[in-house]
Amino acid sequence: MRNKLMRYALPVLALILAAACICTLLIYVKPMEDMALDLSLMYLEDGMEALPETPDEKGWTVYTQEGSTKTKLTPNGRGGYTGLELGQTFYFSRVMEEELDSPTLQLGTVEWQFSVWLDDTLIYTDCPELDNRIGYVQLPMSEVFREDPVTISLPKDYQGKTLTIAQSFPEWTETGSVVAWPTSVQLYCGYAYESGLISETIQTTLLAALACLLTLILLAAFVRSRDWSILCLAVVAFLWMAQQLIGTSFYHRYFAPLSDSLTTLIPLVSTFALLCYLTLQGGSRRKLLWIPVGVYALSVLADAVVLTVSTGFLTEPVQLYSFIHYLPPWLAFISLVALLVMGILRWRKENRFYGVFLPLAFVGIAVSWGIQISLNGFGFVWHQIAANLVSGQIQYIYTYTLSGVTVAALIAAVVEAIRKELDRRAEKHLMQQQQELAIASYQNLRHQHEEVMMLRHDMFRHYQTLLDMDNDEKRTAYLTELIGQNQKIRPVVESGNEMVDIILGGRLGAAIDAGIRVEVPHVTAPEPLPLSDPDLCALVMNIVDNAITATSKAAAPYIMLKLHQRDGFLGIVCENSFDPQEPEMDAKKETVPKHGLGLKIVKNIVAKYSGTITEQRVDDRFIVKLVIPL
């Protein structure tokens, strides 16, 4: 009882701990509520400048100041201000009345430079070497574009104080008009910003760790099997991990920024590896599919060359460059459709991998597009598809179709790997059974040979004794004793099938040695049977071993076995005693010692040959009946 408790308690405890760890991590996946306030004077709508009906100054005053002299600038109604000279630093200020925990200020950067004061106290500057007093600072423009915003933590007593921002202005203008555009200003809770970073980090870590673990498992499987398709899938998993890491907002703080060409090529190479994997899984009918996959590989190579050349020499994309750049997604999409069509027409029924992959692929595609529609709306998705096709592209359609197929391929690969491992274990189990059968058969034949030789050795003595007897009663008693001795010789099963005779001879002999009463009233197995020798061996051995194991715990152990042929069917009936106190599941599952797979193997073999199997418990008897068509 204690062993059974430990057997089930430990896995349950492990699952509970694993679930607790996962739930704890998922808490950090969702960021805290971001109580951000947009204090910007620039009016943006979908990233584009917009003209509001009622411009809101949001409490700002925009001006220039030389010493103590202020000159207020004139708003143009779109967030811009006129009335200053080229190269002149301008200011904008407001009283901070908003109440936020851990207040943090964020300023957009581009090529501008800033100094920031709270009342008259300087709290930030890009140019510490200047005279950073309000009215005296002269800020130059930055020589480079800055991608990251300026983030400033405000003191806790900021409320009620005046925030003043000085911003640089260029010494030249392309349009000839002199308009100052105050930078975007965001006020938000600092912990929300930190929570966002934590959330992004946890999400990236979980996905990247999963991809890394999958990569290592696939590489180990490749080393073990030398299956090149597994290596292709390992490349897909590795590049997936790389994409997760590169896509973070903080990637450039740890690594040098990647070129646009390399960032563009990573998903293209990942797609090529995925297409190779799916093609290699196609079996002997995959030759034609290598043509579109090979053309796709050449297009990716051409795209890489053009991207490199354009980065170094071309300032404007030419028509040839656009064509080569848009070609790989088209070829990848065509190859993917060809694989799915070929899978439906040729591989769905005869290929185990595609039997799992195809349903998962269509479900994955449906889920991927369903998520897009739920997040953005059907109208937006349809507009994007139409715009893509009108411009001669298929990137949008291809991207969200590929994501569903990729996930399906990874899941199908894991299922196939598990299935192969189970097959390997079952084959190992069968080989062990065959080895045990060979040993048992040898021992049984040796015992039978010894008994026959002993009987033969004593035969002449028995004949002489019978000849010398002058009393019929004595002769009868002596013959009765000889018959009893002869009945103790191990029975030799003669079913008409050599394999069945060998299996039953060995296994039933072992049962007799174990003190089990064996009855074989009828055994007829025509040769040849529709079952292969390995399946026949596994079927009969597991039936008999299951009976031996169950009856060994009974008060009066016995086994009764029948094999017969009738009306084009092979019938097998095995009846054995068992201890009614034993749990029912133990009586069904505890078959071959240390394996527990016997009855499952029997059911799989019967199903393989379109047969039927029934089980019945009657008092202290357990009966298994099999019917297999010949």
Strand spans (E) along 201-279: none
pLDDT at 84 over 80: yes
pLDDT tens per residue, range 545-577? 888 888 888 888 889 888 888 878 888 899 998
Instruction: Determine whether 557 is exposed, middle or buried from the number of CB atoms within 10 Å of its CB (0-12, 13-18, 19+).
Output: buried
Q: What are phi and psi of 74, to 5 degrees?
A: -100, 125
Confidence (pLDDT) at 198: 80
Which distant-in-sequence residues (6+ apart) come within 8 Å of 254 by Cβ?
Answer: none
pLDDT at 451 over 90: no
Confidence (pLDDT) at 133: 92
Q: Read off the tokens for 522.
A: 């009828």
The pTM is what? Answer: 0.51
Residue with the two structure tokens 């105050």: 182
Number of C-alpha atoms within 13 angstroms, CB side, residue 132?
21
43-52, 61-70, 94-103, 269-278: least confident range: 43-52
Confidence (pLDDT) at 166: 96
- What three-state secondary structure class fits 348? coil
Residue with the two structure tokens 């992004």: 200
**Torsion, CA 138, CA 142, CA 148, CA 154, rounded to 10:** -10
pLDDT at 587 over 70: no
Instruction: Determine whether 493 is exposed, middle or buried from the number of CB atoms within 10 Å of its CB (0-12, 13-18, 19+).
Output: buried
DSSP state of 30: S
pLDDT tens per residue, range 301-310? 887 777 666 5
Residue range 566-594: average pLDDT?
Answer: 67
pLDDT at 285 over 90: no
Which distant-in-sequence residues (6+ apart) come within 8 Å of 482 by Cβ?
Answer: 462
With cut-offs at 50, 70 and 90, classify the pLDDT of residue 205: confident
Distances (CA, A) of 81 to 64, 72, 169: 11, 9, 12
β-pairing, 558-566 vs 517-523, is parallel
CATH numbers and ranges of domains, the chain: 37-183 (2.60.120), 491-630 (3.30.565.10)
- What three-state secondary structure class fits 436? helix
Best CA proximity match to 626, nearest among 517, 546, 519, 507 = 546
Which distant-in-sequence residues (6+ apart) come within 8 Å of 461 by Cβ?
Answer: none
565 DSSP β-pair partners: 570
Instruction: Determine whether 545 is exposed, middle or buried from the number of CB atoms within 10 Å of its CB (0-12, 13-18, 19+).
Output: buried
146-155, 211-220, 466-475: least confident range: 466-475
Confidence (pLDDT) at 345: 74
Confidence (pLDDT) at 107: 92
